[in-house]
Chain A
Amino acid sequence: MTTRVLARVTYLLYLGVFLSFLYVPLAVVGILAFNNSALPQFPWQGFTLRWFRAIAADPLLLRAVANSVVVGAAVVALAAPIGVITAFLLVRYRFPGKNLLYTLVLSPLVTPGVILGVSMLIFFDSLGVQAGLATAVLGQTSFIASFVLLIAAARLQKFDRSLEEAAQDLGATPLRAVLLITLPFLRPAVMAACVVAFLLSFDNFNTTFFLIGNEITLPIRIYTTVRLELSPTINAISVVFILLTVTMGMATELLRRRAST
């Protein structure tokens, strides 16, 4: 009995240490965003919001956020249709080379993001296309479409095709049956996939870094600022960044839960 209790206490202790290891660094970032000190370090010199106001006064940071939103929206607009249509293709049709295509469309999930970025940088350069926001969008789409595909395919496999057949028996064309019956069924999965796609785009550094040229997105801007100097403004923008991505993460979790019922 006592060994049981001991085992339990050890286990809880382990979880506590693990969670502290996860959260203490984030807490340091968060607390120092509100510290009235010119450097992001302790001791505590009083509460201030000036580092958050400094964000609004930093044109590059604002531009980075705006670019991130634009890039994210463009990635969603590209990756969502590509992923969903490819999910239809792979779930519903048999054709020669299907396994090869399957492997290829999932390969970005296990390819280092840097490789995707470098290879597309070389390709676009050989076409005379300058690196910038557009190339970053294409680079991100290359792997984000794979995530959309997985989410859409999982839902599509659960669809009862007799519903579509019923619609056709009632006189709908096959396309109309898909539009009226199948797509509404897919909606929660597509919505979840869109939020995931936006989140992954908003978060991306490795692929974007090589394809962004002289432009900036939020992660790129934070990266270059940290390389230059440590400033509490980075903490403030980090807090904003954390709030945004965690909110989006929660939203995907809720949408996915709905999609899996």
Chain B
Amino acid sequence: MPRRTAAAAAVLMLPALLWVLLLLVIPQFKMLDLSLRFNLPIEQVGTEADVHTLVNYHAFVTNPLYWKVFLKTLYSAVVITLVSFLVAFPVAYAMAKLASGSWRRRLLILILIPFWVNEIVRTYAWVLILTEHGVLNQVLQALGLMQEPVSHLYRDSTVVIGMTYAYMLFMIFPLYAVLESLDTSLIEAAQDLGAHWLQVLRHIILPHAIPGAAAGGIMVFMLSVGTFVVPSFLGGKGALWFVELIYRRFYDALNWNLGSAFSFILLALSMLFVVGVLRLFGIAVRRVIQAS
């Protein structure tokens, strides 16, 4: 590299280094470090009592409440990701391959508009529908299907529906992007050769859609395990989801060390999921990013 180019690269590197070190790497190492220490009274922090320990991770492993909340959050996120794929795929396919020019644009805009609406507003909408005197009960009562109104809030299933509603749109656009790039003549050729539509789907469309599905799946999964708003609105005050557990360590229980351990577990889970999905489908990160 000529000296001038090297100097230019060094100057350009500065903002990137500040960004990566001060906002990402050091904070996350600090979080890991804090999770490996005892929750000491402030005057003992930094003294010889402040040593590294696995006590917080031990607490996570041995307390069944924490485990149950973690597994429920993980399981729900997997379900939401799969359901989002099943719901989104036909819509993305319709946009990419079935709709003609003007309809495709209209459909795209119709799906983009709710995508731009804030998650909090979208979740609040479900509160208005599912609450005791909400829209759903009024409809059910008007139809004579229900006598006494009961609240549909504060159930885990409600939280799962709310999360699916809030995050499934993140599946549509990556799927749409990959399906649009699929050469339609491939599908037609297979059909001309007598392939059943299921065979076309299995051997031509789905393999081509994998990077999009992976990108969408990673987004939906990450948003689902990391959500705070949806369980908080739809699950009620007693609902325990993993991020709520983290929040409580920081603001109610004032045990930042345990909170950091939970956060690190969540971070590790998301990283594992991303790496796992990429390995499973044998795709490079760059293709996923291009699709999303």
Q: Which residues of A contact B (CB under 8 A)?
A: 11, 14-15, 18-19, 21-23, 25-26, 28-29, 32, 39-43, 81-82, 85-86, 88-89, 93-95, 101, 103-116, 118-123, 126, 138-139, 141-142, 145, 150, 174, 199, 203, 205-206, 209-210, 219, 222-223, 226-227, 230, 234-235, 238, 241-242, 245-246, 248-249, 253
C-alpha gap A40/B9 in the complex (Å): 57
A19 touches B110 (CB 8 A): yes
List of A residues within 8 angstroms of B138 by Cβ: 41-43
Which has the most chain A C-beta neighbours within 10 Å: B115, B125, B165, B223?
B125
Q: Which B residues are in CB contact (< 8 Å) with A106?
A: 285, 289
Pairwise interchain contact B16-A105, C-beta atoms closer than 8 A: yes
CB of A238 within 8 A of CB of B20, answer no
Q: Does B145 contact A (CB under 8 A)?
A: no
The answer to whether B250 touches A118, judged by C-beta atoms less than 8 angstroms apart, is yes
Contacts of B133 in A (CB 8 A): 39, 41
- CB pair B116 A246 closer than 8 Å: yes
Q: A112-B222, A246-B117 are in contact. Are A119 and B112 (CB under 8 A)?
A: no
Rounded to whole Å, the gap between the CB of A261 and the closest CB of chain B is 16
Query: With contacts A23-B114, A42-B135, A105-B19 known, is A122 near B122, CB below 8 A?
Result: no
Which residues, 9 to 52 on B, are CB-close (under 8 Å) to A?
9, 12-13, 15-16, 18-20, 22-28, 30-31, 34
Contact (Cβ within 8 A) B27 A119 = yes
Task: Using CB atoms, name the residue of chain A closest to B111.
Answer: A22
Nearest Cβ on chain B to A174's Cβ, whole angstroms: 8
Partner of A249, one of B8, B115, B226: B115
User: A114 to B218, Cβ gap below 8 A?
Assistant: no
A28 to B124, CA, bound (A): 10
Given known pairs A101-B20, A105-B20, A111-B270, the reply for A14 and B90 (CB within 8 Å) is yes
CB within 8 Å: A-B pair count: 213
Query: Is the pair A110, B222 in contact by a Cβ cutoff of 8 Å?
Result: yes
B contact residues, total (Cβ < 8 Å): 78
Known: A19-B110, A22-B111, A41-B128. A115 touches B15 (CB 8 A): no
10 contacts across the A-B interface (CB closer than 8 A): A26-B117, A41-B131, A41-B135, A89-B12, A89-B13, A113-B226, A114-B243, A119-B27, A123-B31, A142-B23
Binary per-residue interface labels of chain B (97-130) against chain A in the complex, 1 for a CB within 8 Å, 0 otherwise:
0100000000100111111111111101111110
Per a CB cutoff under 8 Å, which of B30, B117, B169 touches A123?
A: B30
User: Considering the chains assembled together, what is the distance between the CA atoms of A82 and B131 in angstroms?
Assistant: 45
Residue in A104, A118, A210, A253 whose Cβ sees the most chain B Cβ within 10 Å: A118
Nearest-Cβ distance from residue A242 to partner chain B, whole angstroms: 5
Chain B residues whose C-beta falls within 8 Å of the C-beta of A42 in the assembled complex = 135, 138
Distance in angstroms from B72 CB to nearest chain A CB is 16
